[in-house]
A and B are shown apart, each in its own frame.
Chain A
Amino acid sequence: MQEKIITTNNLTLYRNDTAIFSNISIDILKSQITNIYGHNGSGKTSLLKILVGITEATNGEVKNVSGDVELFNRTIYIGHRYGLKNNLSINENLMYLQSFYGVNQQQLIDKAIDIYGMTKYKNTLVKYLSHGQQKRASLMKTLITNSKLWIIDEPYSALDDEAIEMFNETAKNHLNNNGSLIITNHKPITNIFPNVINFKLN
């Protein structure tokens, strides 16, 4: 039986008097990928934001049952907008974000940039990168601290096949180190990772 790290209890979300979803109870397990999928407008991003803590659900609650009080503080969240400053280089962005987690290790940043194959663009300002390159840069955020929980909204969008492979590699390493991953996607994920929970939102 896998260990639970987050439980939720009958989450309901209303926006302008319309229910986006109601009575969702989802458990996030350790060393598992939870893939929230559904068609456009089913509330995937909203559910993700509730799990992260940005949005408050109309009803229901999210509980941290992992026994690690630092779990949410060290969560890496990559949302729809990448959270990178356009006028800073990739290196400067990652250094600034690292300082938020109280970490100051340049070698982790260099390794992250190398893993995603962007060493040539280390000191390029983000505004000069293409959309896909910016997505790669935003995914590097997962590798700059040792966080146990990654919450990523549509990790595969805008990525080419090479980058998708890179991301899958890092995700597998993360799971092997007792990390957990919550992602959203358009369809269920099969044949890539050994332990995936596909959760459909209607």
Chain B
Amino acid sequence: MNQFYSIITKEITLAARSGYELFFPILYLFIIIIFFNISISYAGKNIILELIPLMIWIACLLICVLNIESIFKDDYDDGSLEIFVIHNENLEIDILAKIFSHWLLSNFPVVLIAPFLSLLLGLDYDTSIVLFLTLLIGTPTMSLLGSIAAALTISLKKNKILTSIVVLPLYIPILIFGTSAVNNSFFNMDYFSELILMGIIFFIFLLVTPIACSKALRISLD
């Protein structure tokens, strides 16, 4: 447990010292939403209102995809990944700590801002809450999934597209459940079943990812 906290503290210290990189995800979110609103401004108001939470969801998904390769890259480049992996009895817990701190620093700010953004754009309170909840469950799942792909492709020089190709088809179910829940809430329909399904997917990947990731890391460091 001590190691868990020291990994998270280290990642937060490193992020604080890396300058303004922390704000890029929020900036991307604003850019996508602003440009989306500008481009569909001629459509009817009810259509725009219906599409906004879905667009915020897609923006969060794309930000997740953009950030996912950086989870192990720095450690691989300076040699800390080898020390992290070799003969580490608690590698699974340590990997979870790494993924959690990466999610906390890359995706969580976006998740926090998204409901306020949707309120700002005119959506009702309930839909914004559901948007926040679906993102809160969906983005960690996407981080977990993406980290397996990132672990498999670290040692490749040109891995940018490959990670995205591997990961995007797997993100589709999460996207469908998330946007379906938000859309149902917008039309005042029931959304609990989608939330529960997303929760189940999250827990499955919470159990599978550390094991898969540790194997993938050992293979790609070979």
A interface, CB within 8 angstroms of B: 52-56, 72-73, 75, 77, 79-88, 92, 96-97, 99-100, 102, 125
- Judged by a CB distance under 8 angstroms, whether B126 is at the interface is no
Chain B contact residues, majority secondary structure: helix
B87 x A73 contact (CB < 8 A):
yes
- Chain B residues, Cβ within 8 Å of A52: 86
A88 x B14 contact (CB < 8 A):
yes
A80 to chain B, nearest CB (A): 7
Closest 7 CB pairs of A and B: A81-B79, A83-B79, A99-B6, A87-B17, A72-B87, A83-B83, A83-B80
Most buried by A among B2, B10, B14, B18: B10
> Would you give the 0/1 interface string for B180-222, flagging 1 where the beta carbon is closer than 8 Å to chain A?
0000000000000000000000000000000000000000011
> Would you give the 0/1 interface string for B112-130, flagging 1 where the beta carbon is closer than 8 Å to chain A?
0000000000000000000
A54 x B221 contact (CB < 8 A):
yes
- Chain A residues, Cβ within 8 Å of B222: 54-56
- Chain B residues, Cβ within 8 Å of A75: 86-87
Minimal Cβ-Cβ distance residue in B for A87: B17
- Chain A residues, Cβ within 8 Å of B221: 54-55
- Judged by a CB distance under 8 angstroms, whether B50 is at the interface is no
A99 x B79 contact (CB < 8 A):
no
B10 x A53 contact (CB < 8 A):
no
Within the assembled complex, what's the spacing in Å between the Cα atoms of A81 and B78? 6
- Chain A residues, Cβ within 8 Å of B46: none
A82 x B86 contact (CB < 8 A):
no
Within the assembled complex, what's the spacing in Å between the Cα atoms of A82 and B221? 15
Please tell me the number of chain B residues within 8 Å of chain A, measured between CB atoms: 22
CB within 8 A of B83: which of A55, A87, A100?
Answer: A100
CB within 8 A of A87: which of B18, B79, B87?
Answer: B18
A28 to chain B, nearest CB (A): 16
- Chain A residues, Cβ within 8 Å of B80: 83-85
| A53-B86 in contact given A85-B14, A87-B14 (Cβ < 8 Å) | yes
A89 to chain B, nearest CB (A): 10
| A83-B86 in contact given A54-B221, A88-B14, A99-B2 (Cβ < 8 Å) | no
> Would you give the 0/1 interface string for B70-106, flagging 1 where the beta carbon is closer than 8 Å to chain A?
0000100111101101111100000000000000000
- Judged by a CB distance under 8 angstroms, whether B3 is at the interface is yes
B13 x A54 contact (CB < 8 A):
no
Most buried by A among B17, B83, B88, B89: B83
B102 to chain A, nearest CB (A): 15
Could you list 23 examples of A-B contacts with CB < 8 Å?
Answer: A53-B86, A54-B82, A55-B222, A75-B86, A75-B87, A77-B83, A81-B79, A82-B78, A83-B79, A83-B80, A83-B82, A84-B80, A85-B80, A87-B13, A87-B14, A87-B17, A87-B18, A88-B14, A92-B10, A96-B6, A97-B83, A99-B6, A100-B83
Given contacts A81-B77, A99-B2, 6 further A-B contacts (CB under 8 A): A53-B87, A54-B82, A80-B79, A82-B78, A85-B78, A85-B80
A85 x B10 contact (CB < 8 A):
yes
- Chain B residues, Cβ within 8 Å of A79: 79, 82
- Chain B residues, Cβ within 8 Å of A83: 78-80, 82-83
Minimal Cβ-Cβ distance residue in A for B77: A81
